[in-house]
Structure 1
Amino acid sequence: MQYQYKFEKIMSLRTREKDEAQSVYQDAVRKFEEAADHLYQLLKKKEVLESHQSEKLSKGLAVSEIRHHQQFIGNLEKTIDYYQKMVINARNRMNYQHSQLMEKNIEVKKYQKIKEKDYLHYLTIEKEEENKVMDEISIQQFMSRGN
């Protein structure tokens, strides 16, 4: 008799769901990293621009150039605020997907544990059946010797 796990289809479905959750999580991580990298680049650019502007201010700068720099930095700050919100949203999505993945992992592990216990039970029953057959054979041999 060959071992057949009664929840095999459910387990394969849960495994597939876990793999899909893993893929979605990896995508969320990638998007978070992209948004965080873009935010970092913008912050670095703002820092360079501000240091460049303060350097020019110490040497003397026309009012129109100061206004132009301030307007550019103001626009850059708006972009930075937008990307900060994007990073927060991406982090929240990534954390949510991570929790979903953990739930799927736990579910699959439960079914694997059930399968292991079921298989051990199957082996025990097989061993008992084998012992019964061996006992029957021993009894028949003993009886045939006695005649």
Structure 2
Amino acid sequence: MEYSFKFSKILTIKEKEKEKALGEYNEAVKRFEKVAEKLYYFLKQKEDYEEMHKQKLRLGLPIQDIRYFQLFITNLERTISHYQQLVIQAREQMFLKQAKLAEVNIEVKKYEKMKENHEKAVREAIQAAENRWMDEVSIQQFVHRRNWVR
């Protein structure tokens, strides 16, 4: 007797959905990390330039250099603000993909549990049938011996 789980095709589809959701989640994590690293780079760059500018101010600095620095910092702040928004968006996407993955994973677990329960029921039914058959054989042997002994 060949075992057949009636929802095996659905389980296969759900497992493929899980793999796809896992891939999308991993992509979202990579995007988040990439954007966060760029944001960190620009924040670090701003910090370094501000420290360098403070040192130059102590030693004396022409007005033109101060204006260039202010312009540079303003542009850098715009870039930082842009990357902060990108980080927020990437984080939201990552959390959405994580929630989708969790949802699909729960569905797969449900079907796997149904499959386990079905396999257990099939094994128990086979065992019960074998036990009935063994009982029948034992009874026939007992009756046959009893008739032969007389």
Indicate the TM-score class for this superposition, using the shorter chain for normalisation: over 0.9
One-letter identity of the residue aligned with 1:8? S
Post-superposition Cα deviations, 1:50-80, rounded to whole Å, max 9, x if no partner, equal 1111111111111111101100110000000
Where does the alignment leave 5 or more consecutive residues of structure 2 unmatched? none
Give the structure 2 partner of residue 29 of structure 1: 29
Q: Which residue matches 1:44? A: 44
- Large movers: runs of 4+ above 4 Å: none
* Structure 2 counterparts to residues 77-116 of structure 1, below 5 A: 77-116=77-116
Q: When the two structures are superposed, what TM-score results if normalisation uses the length of structure 1?
A: 0.96
Write out per-residue CA displacement over residues 97-120 of structure 1, whole angstroms, 9 at most, x where no aligned residue.
Answer: 000000011111111111111111
Distance 1:124 1:43 in 2: 65
Partner in structure 1 of residue 135 of structure 2: 135
Aligned-pair identity in percent equals 45
What secondary structure does 2:2 align onto? Answer: coil
Quote the Cα distance in structure 2 between the aligned partners of 1:49 and 1:59: 15
Question: CA shift at 1:140, angstroms?
Answer: 2.1
**Equivalent residues, number:** 147
Deviation at 1:132, TM superposition (A): 1.4
3-state SS, counterpart of residue 5 of structure 2: coil
| One-letter amino acid of the counterpart of residue 107, structure 2 | E
TM-score, structure 2 normalization: 0.94
Q: Shift of residue 134 of structure 1?
A: 1.0
Root-mean-square deviation (Å)? 1.0
Q: What is the rounded CA distance, in whole Å, between the counterparts of 1:143 and 1:6 in structure 2?
A: 42
Task: Report the Cα distance in structure 1 between the residues aligned to 2:88 and 2:106, rounded to whole angstroms.
Answer: 27
Equivalent residue, structure 1, for 2:63: 63
Structure-2 separation of matches of 1:50 and 1:24: 39
Amino acid at match of 1:74: T
